[in-house]
Structures are given as structure tokens and as C-alpha cells.
Chain A
Amino acid sequence: MSDGADGRDEEGRDDEVRGAPRIPGPRPAADDFADLTPVPPPGPMPEPAPEPEPEPVPEPEPEPEPEPVPEPQPRPASAGAEPESAPPALVLPHRVLQALLGAWALAACSAEETAAVEAHLTECAPCADEALRLRDAVGLLHTDRSLDLDPLLRSRVLENCLNRRPAKIPVPDWAAPYDAETARLDALLRDIGSAEWHAPVRLQWFEGEREASRRTTVAGVIGHLMTVDGLVGAALGLDDPLPGPLSPTARTESYWSATRVPPTRAVREPWREQSHTLIRTVSFAGRGVEDLSVSYGDFALPLQDALLDRAFECWVHAGDIAKAVDYPYEPPSAGHLHRMIDLAARMLPAALAVRRRSGLAGPARQLVTAGSPGRSLHLEIEGSGGGDWYVALDSPAALGSAEHTVAQVALDGVEFCRLVAGHVPPVEAAAGQRGDREAIRDVLFAAASLSRL
């Protein structure tokens, strides 16, 4: 009964319409589509070998969000069973049995239905054929989640490509951490389910002398990242998704309050699109773009530092998200981590000065002429991304210097980043401390003060 429909996509449905009751049920089969079936009921045997099916993959569109047919589903279980007989042998019409084949193959119907289908298969060749095929198809399904991609694979694969054919338009090296961190977060987001987008996340940072926090959701965090990344985009002349305030906190609050319904996973696409656009834009921008000033309202950073800062934030918040949905999440590669630590270390003297002005840090002890070495704290960062930094204590204009070290702090690299992110209180941070206690305290608090929403 090949109806010659060339709309192959309709096949499944045609099939169903086609299969009119072979054995009329005890009651008129109140089955779906019954009224839509002008096709004369075909005998089951002459039904041609179903589905020539040369098409490997269906046209996805023609499968419309199936219209829920508001039809009182006759309980097939009660359709033909004599209530009193103990083993209720079901007698179901061919079309009902045929419609059940998928559920049968997946062992997803009742015992009675299973028995009825199996009885039918012994006498209906087309159904038996299809049943075999569908059972076989079930064997192709598998439960193991697609393995999470090793996040380090990306850089290996891309590097191999670029060695084989050098890029005419490379991604600037200083944009690499942002590229890598956004890709890592995106991979995490791909693996989480819809419900997990609404998992609560507590964002933590440090304000003045104490910890601050704010509750949002996974989707809210992505919205936050997107709105602050928008600052970098605006500096590059891209459309700002949220024209207006410049301070990251104000932007985020206004974004959160402007979205009337809580953000959903739909936020992933625009966030990702924006980060791809940023990377693309800095690739095409000419020399010198790395020094372009990006304003955050009350401070500004050159573009290359701003993007590194965004990479850092991306990692920190990816960690927040991973924790909320109970996924593992690794720190950035050693090289990128090193640059993030370096940025924080470079920002410390200015942060100290700000705190000093508001009376939160001790007074400057020894002012030197700008550009000369001054009293310093030796920041010894251990582990991945580590190294030695000398932080000028009395003025951002002074140079950090090993010879003028008055104190030393030793910290693990990731731990230092957690401090800078406001995720550990400064009093608990340092593993090893030596020398001027006030200097140590001031630097640790200044590091925590680099954090923000």
C-alpha cells in the first residue's frame, strides 16, 4: 500500500494513518486519527514490506512539536478483556498493536500489552519485520553519557592545526587565556541539564573588611559574565548589550533586575556569541589595541589586562557553577594561571594605596622617588603557575624589589587566586608568613579587595 508519498518525513505518520484496524475491536476503536483515515483498511499480509527507508536522517523540521491530540485514550488494557477471566488476554486491533511496536521494543509497555504484541507478531508479517528492526535499533542506543572532552585537548588540537597551516589572522597571545577559559566554561554548560541552569549559586566576594555574597542561579551567573564582558566589547566599539552603567556591579544588578523572568539556559547562546565576537574582534584589530583603555567606572585597565581579568572571572565563576551542579572543574593551564597571578600581583600596590586612603591599611613607611625600588613584600607562589613577585608596599609608583623585602608570604597558586576572588578570607590564606606582620596583613587584605561581584 505504498501511497507514493514523496514526503518521506511524513512516513512514520503515514504509516500510522495507514494501519487501519484489522480485527475490529469489540468496541469501535476510538483510536486516534480514525476519522482522518479515508484509506480503506488494508489486509495485513498484502501490506508491502514497510519502509524502503533510504534516508539516513530525517528532515528535522517536518517534525512539528506534535500537537497533543486531545483524545480520550481508551485504556487498551480494558478494551477486550473480560473482567473476570484471570489472565486477561488482550485483543487489540492491528493498528493499536502496530503503534505499540516502539514501546514494545523498548520494553516500555505493560505486561498485557507486551503479550498482545507478541501474540500478534506470530501472525502479522509486516509487524514482525518491523518489530525485529526496532529491537535491533534499540541495540544501537547506549546509556553512557558522551564522555566529557578533556579540556586540554582543545589547545593541543588547535596548536597542531596552526603548526600545519599558520594562521593569517591569529588570535593575539594575550587573548589566549580568555579564549581558553570561555571555551572551558562553555563545555561545562553544554553538559548540564535544563534544571541545573536554575541551581542556586552563591557568589562571594570581599568588601572592605568582610565577606559579601549574593545568591543567584547558574543562568544568572552567565548573565553576570555577559554583562561585564560587555564592557570590554563597548571599549572595542561593539554593541553593548547593556548600555549604561560602567561599574560591573551596577551593570549586573541592572541586568538581573531588568529580566522579569529568571534567566534560563537561553542565556548561553548570547554569552557565547559575545565572547566569540570579542576574540574575533581583537584578532582583526590592529597593533596597539592591547593598550586600549577599558573603563570599569572607577578604574580602568588596558585591554590586554581587561581580557585577562575577564578570563580570571570566567574561571572563578565557572568554578562556582561547577560546585553548584557538582561537577569537577580544573584550574587553568599553568601558563594562563601564571598570567592571572601576575595581573593580581601588579594590581596590588594600587589596591594597597586605595585601602590606605580609606584608613584600612597602615601608613606608608618609606616613600621613595617614583620608579625607584621601595619596601616590598615577597610573594612566593608555589605550584602550577607559580613564581616570585615583589610587591611595592608604600606606593604604586615604587618598584618592587628583592633587596628591599621586609616580609614574605608563601601561597599555593590556586589558593592565591581564591583569595583574589574573595573565596577565602585573608586571615586564613597564607600558608607561610615571615617578617613585617602589618605588611603581610595589608597585602592579604588588599588581595581580597581585588574581588568584586
Chain B
Amino acid sequence: MAKNAPPRWDRKMQQRLSRGEAAALGEMYDRFAALVHSQAHRMLDDEDAADLVTREVFAHVWENPDAYDPKQGSMRAWVAHLTHRESVRRLRRGADEDRDDPDGPDGLEERVRRATAAARADYIVSSMPAPLRAALELAYVRRRDYRQAAADLGVTEDEARRRLRLGLQLLSTARTRPLEGAPPPGYGRVL
């Protein structure tokens, strides 16, 4: 389900949510809850906070389905955008409450920046073409070298090297954007 849903699905879902169809809300949750929760968890590193972000994101989607603009990108990207926004809000609120924050405002900005890059990286990994993701997983998670990875994947060694490099190139774009105000992972672009 991590694949890009056809835009038709997105539009249809939006209509159903607007109509107030509870079954649509459930389907929406089934499709995106894992994305929302893991992204929030990556940004906030806290299970309860990730639960709350998940709750807020779906409440927002349910209450404002018309805020989604299919021309701006996929629904998946919209949901990722909302998750990012809500998580950043939470990071800032946490910092406001804790005014003795040793990191100070710069520390907070740095934390927001890091959290955003991490979340964007996850989003990129989950959205990248499956062959690239599989190669990265073999090399990074399973510690296979590129020759072993090539054998595992049934491709040439050259192709394995290409995939690893391309996968990392894509991933490195997670750091290239200014935050805040900048479009969230993907949203605002054709995915």
C-alpha cells in the first residue's frame, strides 16, 4: 500500500470524506496510519506523542477533507505534510513549556531541522522505487556488500552499485530544503 495510489483513489476518498462517510475514514486510517505514526515517532521520539499526532492528523483530515487539493500532490503527501506540521507544532510547544531548555532557541531550530530531515528521509525511502529500497535495505540493514546484494537481487554488480548510489542520492535530498514554510515531504510536487 505504500505505493502511490492512483489519483482517482485520492479524489474518490476526498468525496467520501466530505460526504461524512465513516467507512471512508476507516479506510483512510488503514492506508495511512502507519505512515503518520512512524513519521511522528521519528520526529518526536515518543510513543504517546506519536499517538496524539496521529489522532490530530486524522481529525484534521476528517474535519477538513476539502483542504486537500489533488492538484498539489497525492493524498499521501498531504497526510505527510499534516503530520510534519503537527509534529513541529508539538516540538515547539514542548520547548515553550520547558523554558530552561539548555539548547535555547537555536537548539530548538536545530532539533526541528533534524527531525524534519529524518521524517523526510523516511518518506523518501518509503516512496522510492522498490528496487532501490531493496538494495539499500540489503546493504544497510543486512550488511551485505554490493556483490552479495547483486546476487540476492539477481542483478549485475554494476546494477547493484548503481542502485545503492542512486538510492543514497535520493535520500540525500532530505537535507536540502529549508524547513518551515517549505513544502513538506513531497507535497506540492508531483509525486
Contact = CB atoms under 8 A, between A and B. Distances in A.
Interface of A: 11-13, 16, 31-32, 51, 53-60, 63, 65-66, 68-71, 73, 99-103, 105-106, 108-110, 130, 133-134, 136-138, 140-141, 143, 146-147, 149-150, 153-154, 156-158, 160-162, 164-171, 179, 183, 186-187, 190, 272, 276, 279-280, 283
Interface in B162-191: 162-177, 183, 185-186, 189-191
A162 B19 CA distance: 13
Interface string B134-166: 001001110011100100001111111111111
B164 A102 contact: yes
A66 B165 CA distance: 14
Contact of A157 (B54, B128, B177): B54
Given A12-B162, A60-B191, A154-B29, A168 B21 contact: yes
B11 to A, nearest CB: 16
Nearest to A180: B26
Contacts of B162: 12-13, 16, 66, 99, 102
A103 B23 contact: no
Contact of B47 (A66, A68, A147, A276): A147
A276 B27 contact: yes
B59 to A, nearest CB: 5
Chain B contact residues, majority secondary structure = helix
Contact of B62 (A51, A105, A165, A283): A165
B159 A57 contact: no
Interface residues of B, number: 77
A106 B160 CA distance: 12
Q: Which of A51, A153, A187 has the most CB of B within 10 A?
A: A153
Interface stretch (B85-93, B98-106, B113-121): B113-121
A69 B163 CA distance: 13
Nearest to A282: B23
B129 A60 contact: yes
A134 B21 contact: no
A57 B34 contact: no
B156 A73 contact: yes
Interface of B: 1, 3-4, 19-27, 29-30, 33-34, 37-38, 41, 47, 51, 54-55, 58-59, 62-63, 117-118, 120-121, 123-125, 127-129, 131-132, 136, 139-141, 144-146, 149, 154-177, 183, 185-186, 189-191
**Which among A59, A110, A161, A280 has the highest number of chain B CB atoms within 10 Å?**
A161
A153 B33 contact: yes
Contact of A57 (B20, B25, B166, B186): B186
B58 A141 contact: no
Contact of A103 (B124, B146, B171): B146
16 contacts: A56-B124, A56-B183, A56-B189, A57-B123, A57-B127, A68-B159, A69-B159, A103-B146, A108-B145, A108-B164, A134-B165, A140-B171, A141-B125, A153-B37, A190-B34, A283-B21
